[in-house]
Structure 1
Amino acid sequence: MPVGYVQISVGIAGPLLLDGFEYSVPMATMEGCLIANTNRGCKAIHLSGGATSVLLRDGMTRALVVRFNSAKRASELKFFLEDPENFKTLSIIFNRSSRFARLQGIQCAIAGKNVYIRFTCSTGDAMGMNMVSKGVQNVLDFLQNDFDDMDVIGISEQSSWNEELTFSLKEPNGVLNLEVFDKDLLKTDDKMGHAQLSLQPLVSAARLRQILQNFNGETVLRKVVPDSDNCLVRESSITCVNV
Structure 2
Amino acid sequence: MDEKKIEELVSKVVKGEIKFHEVEKYTDGDSEVATEVRRRALERLTGAKLEHLGKYTIDANRAMDKNIENMIGAVQVPVGIAGPLLVHGEYAEGEYYVPLATTEGALVASVNRGCSTITDSGGAHVRIVRDGMTRAPVFKLPSARKALEFCEWVRKHFDDIKEVAESTTRHGELLDIQEFVVGRHVFLRFEFDTKDAMGMNMVTIATEEAVNWIEEKYPDAKCVSASGNVCVDKKPSWLNNVLGRGRTVVAEVEVPRDIVEEKLKTTPEAMAEVNYRKNLVGSAAAGNIGFNAHHANIVAAIFIATGQDEAHAVDGSTGYTTMEVTEDGDLYASVTIPSLNVGTVGGGTGVETQRECLEILGVAGGGNPPGVNAKEFAEVVAAAVLAGELSLVAALAAGHLGKAHRLLGR
Please, what TM-score do these two structures have when normalized by structure 2?
0.38
Cα 1:2–1:23 shift into 2, 3 Å: farther
Partner of 1:92: 163
Structure 1 residue 119 corresponds to structure 2 residue 199: no
Partner of 1:161: 241
CA–CA distance in 1 between the matches of 2:214 and 2:97?
46
Cα 1:128–1:112 shift into 2, 3 Å: same
Partner of 2:85: 16
Does structure 2 conserve the Cα–Cα contact (< 8 Å) formed by 1:82 and 1:107?
A: no
Structure 1 residue 110 corresponds to structure 2 residue 181: yes
Cα 1:148–1:8 shift into 2, 3 Å: farther
Cα 1:180–1:142 shift into 2, 3 Å: farther
Report 1:25-64 matches (<5 A): 25-64=98-137
- 1:101 Cα offset (Å): 0.8
Cα 1:40–1:77 shift into 2, 3 Å: farther
- 1:67 Cα offset (Å): 1.9
- 1:51 Cα offset (Å): 1.2
When the two chains are superposed, the root-mean-square deviation of aligned CA atoms in Å is 3.1
CA–CA distance in 2 between the matches of 1:181 and 1:54?
22
Residue-by-residue CA offset, 1:137-191 (whole Å, 9 max, x unaligned): 111111111333413244334252339xx99xxxxxxxxxx9666885579x97x
SS at match of 2:130: coil
Query: Greater CA deviation, 135-144 or 50-59?
Result: 50-59
- 1:94 Cα offset (Å): 0.9
Partner of 2:223: 151
Q: Output the amino acid matched with 1:162.
A: V
Residue identity (%): 35
Cα 1:14–1:105 shift into 2, 3 Å: same
Give the number of the structure whose residues are more often helix, by fraction: 2
Unmatched runs of 5 consecutive residues or more in structure 1: 168-177, 191-243
- 1:25 Cα offset (Å): 1.0
Q: Output the amino acid matched with 1:16.
A: L
Q: Output the amino acid matched with 2:81.
A: I
CA–CA distance in 1 between the matches of 2:118 and 2:201?
35
CA–CA distance in 1 between the matches of 2:104 and 2:169?
36
**Equivalent position to 1:137, from 191, 195, 208:** 208
Residue-by-residue CA offset, 1:193-234 (whole Å, 9 max, x unaligned): xxxxxxxxxxxxxxxxxxxxxxxxxxxxxxxxxxxxxxxxxx
CA–CA distance in 1 between the matches of 2:201 and 2:136?
13
SS at match of 1:49: coil
Structure ranking higher on relative contact order (CA contacts 8 Å, 6+ apart): 2
Structure 1 residue 82 corresponds to structure 2 residue 155: yes
SS at match of 2:123: coil
Does structure 2 conserve the Cα–Cα contact (< 8 Å) formed by 1:14 and 1:24?
A: yes
Please, what TM-score do these two structures have when normalized by structure 1?
0.62
CA–CA distance in 2 between the matches of 1:66 and 1:43?
51
Unmatched runs of 5 consecutive residues or more in structure 2: 1-29, 33-55, 59-73, 244-279, 301-309, 315-410
- 1:45 Cα offset (Å): 1.0
Partner of 1:68: 141
SS at match of 1:52: strand
- 1:42 Cα offset (Å): 1.3
CA–CA distance in 2 between the matches of 1:51 and 1:155?
37
CA–CA distance in 1 between the matches of 2:192 and 2:108?
32
Does structure 1 conserve the Cα–Cα contact (< 8 Å) formed by 2:82 and 2:98?
A: yes
